[in-house]
Every structure is written in structure tokens, then in C-alpha cells.
Structure 1
Amino acid sequence: MALSADRNTPMKDGELVNVPVATNAKIYAGSLVALNASGYATPGAVAATLTYLGRAEEQVDNTGGADGAKTVNVRRKKAFKFKNYGSDAVVQADLGKTCYIVDDETVAKTDGTATRSVAGKVVGLDSDGVWVE
């Protein structure tokens, strides 16, 4: 039903989120974090079913743990510099375009024939990495 009066709508900061970690996942601080198809945090990897989330702010080892047994703080809504995948490198002409997850520290120019998930938009390029937003 639509509002008929003011509402004190709850608010949450979406820049730093605490996310349940997938079974047997080990996430390193500073790594690229994605969500698996079930919505649990996992290190970036070649897989067509991941959703990019951001950068891990801490190391969490859920080895031997069930889905959600541990949580990880993930920073979002920023640009992070990840390694550029040499054999499918992001180049200057890719500025503003989508790049793709290779692993928990690396992105590539293409989806690897539909085997890689989207990492985000390329917002910068340095000799030692790709800035991904």
C-alpha cells in the first residue's frame, strides 16, 4: 500500500558490507570478491555465474565451514586496481567498457568465450593494473 504519511525509512551504508562466505572459501584481504549463484562470497575465479561485489577488507578462511559460517567485510562503490591478464589484456581503448574476472586479483578484456563473469567498468589503466569500478 502506498504511503499516506511520512516514513522514517531505515538506511544502511552500502560502501562497506558484511557478506556470508561460501563453503570452503578462503578470501584474502585486498582480493576481488564475487558472489556465487547462491549469494555467498567467494574469491574471483573463471566462472560464468559469479557477480562482482568489490574488494575484501580482511582475510577470512571458511575452509571446512558451511555456507555463511563466517562473514567477510567487502568494500564497494570504489575503483580498485587489479592485475591485467596478459594474454587477454585490457587496453586504453577499453576505457569505459566492461572487463571480466579471471581470478581474485586479475581481470581480462573479454568474457573468454562466455566463461568469465563481469568484473565492472574500466575507469583507468596503469602499467601495473586495471582500475575497475
Structure 2
Amino acid sequence: MPLAKDRNTLRRDGVQFSDPVAADTLIFAGALVCLDASGNAVPGATSTTLKARGVAQEQVDNTGGAAGDLSVESRRGVFQFANSTSTDQITRADIGSECYIVDDQTVAKTSATNTRSVAGVIRDVDSNGVWVEI
């Protein structure tokens, strides 16, 4: 049904999130945070079922806790991560392409034969790492 009067429509900026942390999970500040198949926050890892969410703004230690006992604040944007090595090393020629999650601080050029989830889009590469838009 269409509006018949003014409405206070709630808004989010779409860059900051608070998600329940998976059971028995430790997430370090600055880690790449992903959502697992249940929608719980976990650190980035080699997996085909994770969805990149952002970078942890704090350390959250839910070791020994149940899923959702604690929440983690994460932020979307463009962040610098460690570059993979060898044939998976990202170069400037890869800018604009997707990259893949190796762990909570490293990204790679390939999915390693469909064993890694997408981290985001490569926005820049320099001597310190890979700038990824999540």
C-alpha cells in the first residue's frame, strides 16, 4: 500500500556493521571479517562458504562462547591486506579484478581451484600489499 502521509524512513550508511560472532571464535582487530553460512562473524579463512563483511574494528574473543554471545563491529571500505605469493601473487595488472581470501590478513589472485571465497575488488597494489574494496 502506498504512503498516505509522511514516513520517518530509517537509514544506515552501509559501511559499519555489528554481527554475532560464531561459537568458539577469536577475531583480532584489523582482521578480515566474514559471515559464515549461518550469518555469524568469523575471521577470513580458506573456504568456499564465506562472505566478506569488512575489517574488525576491535578484538572479540568468543572462545568458549556460543554463537551470538558476543558481537563484532566491522567496517566496509578499501583496506590493505598482505599479498599472496608465487603464482597467486596479485600485481598491478589485476587492479579491478576480484581477489580471494587466504586467511584473515592475506588475499590471492585465484580461487585455488574453487576452494576460496571472494574477498572483494582489487583497487591498488603497492610494495606494502593489496588494497581491496570490501
- TM category (shorter chain) comes to over 0.9
Give the structure-2-normalised TM-score: 0.94
Tell whether 2:125 aligns with 1:130.
no
Supply the AA of the counterpart residue of 2:115. Answer: T
Whole-angstrom distance in 2 between the partners of 1:14 and 1:97: 22
Whole-angstrom distance in 2 between the partners of 1:54 and 1:90: 20
- 1:64-103 equivalence runs, <5 A: 64-76=64-76, 78-87=77-86, 88-103=88-103
Look up the SS of the partner of 1:103 in the other structure: coil
Supply the AA of the counterpart residue of 1:29. Answer: A
Sequence identity percentage:
56
Aligned to 1:11: 11
In the TM superposition, residue 13 of structure 1 has moved relative to its aligned partner by 3.2
Look up the SS of the partner of 1:52 in the other structure: strand
In the TM superposition, residue 14 of structure 1 has moved relative to its aligned partner by 2.3
Whole-angstrom distance in 1 between the partners of 2:60 and 2:125: 29
Give the structure-1-normalised TM-score: 0.95
Whole-angstrom distance in 2 between the partners of 1:116 and 1:4: 49
Whole-angstrom distance in 2 between the partners of 1:125 and 1:4: 51
Whole-angstrom distance in 2 between the partners of 1:25 and 1:11: 30
Look up the SS of the partner of 2:102 in the other structure: strand
Whole-angstrom distance in 2 between the partners of 1:86 and 1:20: 32
Whole-angstrom distance in 2 between the partners of 1:107 and 1:7: 43
Root mean square deviation, CA, Å:
1.0
Aligned to 1:20: 20
- 1:96-115 equivalence runs, <5 A: 96-115=96-115
Could you tell me which runs of 5 or more consecutive residues in structure 1 were left unpaired when the two chains were aligned. Answer: none
Q: Which sits farther off after the overlay, 8-17 or 92-101?
A: 8-17
Could you tell me which runs of 5 or more consecutive residues in structure 2 were left unpaired when the two chains were aligned. Answer: none
* Cα deviation code 1:77-133 (max 9, x no counterpart): x10000001131111111000000000000000111110000000000011210000
In the TM superposition, residue 68 of structure 1 has moved relative to its aligned partner by 0.6
